[in-house]
Amino acid sequence: MTDPKAALKESIVRQRESLTKLLQSPLYAIAEACSRVWGDRRALDAVLQEKLETVPHCKFLYVLDTDAIQISDNVSPDGVVENDYGRDRSSRPYMCEAVPSSGFLLSDAYISLRAMRPSLTAIQLVRNSDGKVLGFLGADFDLRDLPLTRELYEEPRYWQQIKGDPSIRGTVFHQSRVDSEMDKQFDTILSVVEELMTGHGVFHVILHFSSSRAIIWQMEDPYRYRLLDIDSLIDPDICLAYPHQTYSTEAAVPSSQISEVLKAFKQLRFMDETLYLRSGTLNIFNGLVGLTFSCDGSHYIPYDEFLDKQHAFWDMNVDA
């Protein structure tokens, strides 16, 4: 099976490649200009001020010696900031990474000390005309300011298993399922939830069987969730609170399969008195089913693969 994290890592790599292409050339040119006035604080500040506009979205430019001691001031779009002259940056994350032979490094993201925000730093080696390393040129960026491609990462449709709380896993065989209010009226509740999803624009649902509640997201108001207690879930009139909406053609889950998924939730809830389903999730657009069992192990699995699994399979695999 393909590593489920591979797509996320690939997305990050593409963003970093794009940023490297954007920053490498201007920082190299600034480093060359700095090498010609090396050791002169005011001259270095002047170079950084003159060249700052060539580095898009840069928050601060500064120069360090080979020991990572700052020998210029911070230069920002708002002017020169003198507080950090002489600062030892050797322990900062971007100075703990090895600079490649190319002389350019785009650091991993880190949390900035002052703003406490996700940030990146680009480091460019500064060399003299003989190729000797004089120090480093640093350029700081706030992650939210960077012109990323913003290509939305798409959640892969792989079966993923996540281990739960060890304290729960260790005591699972000392507990047993107690009928909840939802357990007692399962068929009515599943019919109501199916109607909400197929005819009233609910695209994501989390059913908490042990605590007898549901959380739903509706297409006309996707940024807010609704909490439905047991009284709402057993009352078909709840459907009147949500306008009728034709089932989306973009859904990955066919409308006819929603009832099958919900029925499978019921079967897993009652499959065993010790190992049983605590909550189930369905999202019709990414086509994934989420399962959390009494052992606190969680599974995220494509709906069609979920429906293909037999109960004996879950008996063997719920302890993720």
Q: How far is CA 252 from CA 48, 105, 133, 204, 286, in A?
A: 52, 41, 56, 12, 6
Residue 5 — very low, low, confident or very high, per pLDDT cuts 50/70/90?
A: low
If one compares 166 and 66, the residue with the highest pLDDT of the two is 66
Contacts of 89 (CB under 8 A, 6+ apart): 64, 68, 69, 70, 95, 138
Q: What value does the mean pLDDT take over residues 241-251? A: 93
Last residue of a domain, one of 111, 145, 179: 145
Residue 309 lies inside a defined structural domain of this protein? yes
**104 and 47 in a common domain:** yes
Residue 151 lies inside a defined structural domain of this protein? no
**170 and 106 in a common domain:** no
**203 and 128 in a common domain:** no
- The pLDDT of residue 136 is 97
- Is the predicted pLDDT of residue 202 greater than 90, yes or no? yes
**223 φ/ψ angles, rounded to the nearest 5 degrees:** -85, -10
Residue 140 lies inside a defined structural domain of this protein? yes
Residue 25 — very low, low, confident or very high, per pLDDT cuts 50/70/90?
A: very high
- Is the predicted pLDDT of residue 161 greater than 90, yes or no? no
Name the CA dihedral angle for 9, 15, 16, 17, rounded to a multiple of 10 degrees.
110
Residue 204 — very low, low, confident or very high, per pLDDT cuts 50/70/90?
A: very high
- Is the predicted pLDDT of residue 84 greater than 70, yes or no? yes
What's the domain range around 305? 160-317
- Is the predicted pLDDT of residue 282 greater than 80, yes or no? yes
pTM over 0.95: no
Q: Would strands 133-142 and 288-293 be described as parallel, antiparallel, or unpaired?
A: unpaired
**173 and 101 in a common domain:** no
d(CA 97, CA 116): 20
The 3-state DSSP class for residue 142 equals: strand
CA terminus-to-terminus distance, the chain: 17
**247 and 219 in a common domain:** yes
**105 and 16 in a common domain:** yes
**112 and 15 in a common domain:** yes
For position 13, which CATH number holds?
A: 3.30.450.20
- The pLDDT of residue 171 is 56
Tokens of 144: 């939210």
